[in-house]
Copies of this chain bind each other. A is one copy, B any other.
């Protein structure tokens, strides 16, 4: 496990990360992908997703502003990714908030071989059948995240579960990791969860295992968040600083700054 080694390799290889994501954050996840050192491509037309994912090193599916056509495109792209051996990240934005979102996330998990499920505790709880409190797409309640929740999701869906919050929990169903990097300001702007999912896609193209990719991605975003908060005056300047910080992440020092167990 070395976020630095993976980051260095990613920047050398510039893997293409195909993202079928929501309207709110497309610009944000594209810019985060670029800032980190990979190449984003957004393509959702059912006529082209199979072909596009064939050139990609990872596929990120995000249901943040889903509709019928997009769901079908995600399924087609996901099946093609599985066929090509391209790893898939699922971000089940708002699972638990509406039936459409819960069912779509479960359908993708059922029909597609997902490498990493990256979500907040409320979404994961909804998917594994635990009780939770959601408000829209936000997970409410600080005590909601736990190693057990990630473990259950990993086992139930045969994925690496990457459950993010003030402390992040990653589990592959056997091993678990807690990541303490990060900053409360990450929660003050929209899309940092989606950015975490996009960055997980970037690391899937470079890390040794899916588990390593999930952990290294959260270390990278967490360290960048710490740097971005340093002279931020509020959510606007934090948002700007975050891209600067992702681009400035130093492969030589990031492992020394990682805080995880």
Identical chains in the assembly: 3
Are A190 and B68 interface neighbours, CB within 8 A? Answer: no
Q: Does A48 contact B (CB under 8 A)?
A: yes
Main secondary structure, interface of A, reads mixed
Q: Does A1 contact B (CB under 8 A)?
A: no
Q: Does A236 contact B (CB under 8 A)?
A: yes
Are A16 and B240 interface neighbours, CB within 8 A? Answer: no
Are B68 and A42 interface neighbours, CB within 8 A? Answer: no
Binding site for B on A (CB under 8 A): 14, 16, 18, 22-28, 30-31, 34-35, 39-45, 47-48, 51-52, 55-56, 64-69, 94, 97-101, 134-138, 188-191, 233-237, 239-248
Q: Given A16-B135, A40-B190, 14 more contacts at CB 8 Å? A: A26-B65, A27-B28, A34-B188, A34-B235, A35-B234, A35-B236, A45-B68, A48-B98, A48-B101, A51-B98, A51-B99, A55-B136, A236-B247, A239-B240
